[in-house]
A and B are shown apart, each in its own frame.
Chain A
């Protein structure tokens, strides 16, 4: 069974930092791009970042560029999101998602999310 499990969400003070993790299983992790998408309470989905299969390319939304860093460890089938200079606007549920470029050009598998609260 394909599974994505996020962790690391927490209550953090403004200006603080946090590192999110996403552990995956059930598929060949190194063959897929991965991404993070967030959703504030009662709001829509907002793309945060993507990373290519081998980590050679990292893409960020303008709202997080320079503050967030996406990375991956293919040996551990995991993707990470390092977040710095957090503000209230970063308060959201953060979803890890598999970006299936070959079959769908879409996020085809999603985790259940981890909540980040900046207050």
Chain B
């Protein structure tokens, strides 16, 4: 297996910036993507290859990478951004698709 670590929760007020981190062994050599999951809904892809945004995802979503930590940043958080966020990568063998434990973003 392959372990990715995320903080369980992040809280911000509307309009502020939310940062969600994902750390894992040798993550600097891997592609990391992020999924947003609103309550009762299926996940949607919001970031891929650390910092690339799929079409249709608002520009306030951005990603970055530094060493073994990858970060999802949401600037100017809106109420609709309240959701669980999961990072995901692949282990060194290319076999195991690992998800982080998820971070619950609360918009105060």
Question: Using Cβ atoms and an 8 Å threshold, which residues of chain A touch B48?
Answer: 103-106, 108
User: Which among B42, B45, B99 is the interface contact of A44 at CB below 8 angstroms?
Assistant: B99
User: Which among B42, B88, B97 is the interface contact of A110 at CB below 8 angstroms?
Assistant: B42
Shortest Cβ distance from residue B75 to the other chain A in the assembled complex, whole angstroms: 22
Instruction: Please report the total number of B residues contacting A with Cβ < 8 Å.
Output: 25
* CB atoms of A104 and B49 under 8 A apart: yes
Question: Using Cβ atoms and an 8 Å threshold, which residues of chain B touch A112?
Answer: 42
A45 in contact with B99 given A95-B43, A107-B45, A110-B42 (CB within 8 Å) = yes
CA distance A105 to B30 in the complex (A): 10
The answer to whether B102 has its CB under 8 Å from any CB of chain A is: yes
The answer to whether B61 has its CB under 8 Å from any CB of chain A is: no
* CB atoms of A47 and B42 under 8 A apart: no
The answer to whether A61 has its CB under 8 Å from any CB of chain B is: yes
* CB atoms of A47 and B98 under 8 A apart: yes
The answer to whether A46 has its CB under 8 Å from any CB of chain B is: yes
A105 in contact with B31 given A45-B86, A62-B1 (CB within 8 Å) = yes
CA distance A37 to B97 in the complex (A): 10
Question: Using Cβ atoms and an 8 Å threshold, which residues of chain A touch B95?
Answer: 59
CA distance A103 to B45 in the complex (A): 12
CA distance A37 to B42 in the complex (A): 11
Give 5 pairs: A residue, B residue, CB < 8 Å, sorted on A: A59-B96, A95-B42, A104-B52, A105-B90, A111-B42
